[in-house]
Homo-oligomer: A and B are copies of this chain.
Amino acid sequence: MANAVTKIASIIYPARFSGMARSQAEKSQTRKRILEVTARRLREKGLDGIGLADLMKEAGLTVGGFYKHFADRDELVSEALKLGFGSWRRRQEKGEELSFQELVISYLNEEHRDNAGSGCVLSSLVGEIGRAKSETREVVTDNVRKDLELIASLLPHPESEEARNKAIITLGALIGAIGLARAVSDPSLSQEILQVSASQILGKS
């Protein structure tokens, strides 16, 4: 009887039921590990800033195994960006009662500036995304929409045009300000950019 079920199942789900080396759970954990490493490193080093061999090594694997998980490097990049956007937004939503002011302050500070790898995907990659494959740009477009909705939801009358407009200018200002703060080599100018930008965004509601 158990055999009959197995046989039927092996027709419907041949991969699952006809002799597996490692469990699916193990494989999807490995995949997750590759994606986590990649999501961090892409934000730190840019979309072309790190190679597959290094990424796999950091995930505890060798490079050959990569193609058991992803079709090619582009697919990895798209998936890793999805994860990166998601984890940033999840962290923002975690507090649940995170205010607009808290969002701006948690974005425009030295910790975020100095840790791009765990920060906002857009802030470190905007420029490169504009030149990326359309697959990648579509992932980004989806997530920009979601980020705009998240920001608008923190404002008075979240559904109003005013809230949407303020969300748009705020997202742009956040990304530009932290980008500038990372770009300049003078620490006091960098700090001035962070502080002034935060108070300008918050000062005029």
Contact = CB atoms under 8 A, between A and B. Distances in A.
A73 to B, nearest CB: 15
A165 B126 contact: no
A154 interface: no
Given A169-B196, A200-B166, A200-B168, A183 B129 contact: yes
A174 interface: yes
A86 interface: no
B49 A189 contact: no
B180 A173 contact: no
Contacts of A189: 141, 144-145
A14 B128 CA distance: 46
Interface residues on A, range: 35 or more
A186 interface: yes
Interface in A172-198: 172-177, 179-180, 182-186, 189, 192-193, 196-197
Contacts of A199: 165
Contacts of A165: 196, 199-200
B168 A197 contact: yes
A156 interface: no
Nearest to A145: B189
Contact of A126 (B49, B164, B168, B179): B179
5 nearest A-B pairs in the assembled complex, by CB-CB distance: A176-B176, A130-B182, A172-B176, A126-B179, A172-B177
Interface of A: 44-46, 48-49, 116, 122-131, 134, 137-138, 140-141, 144-145, 164-166, 168-169, 171-177, 179-180, 182-186, 189, 192-193, 196-197, 199-201, 204
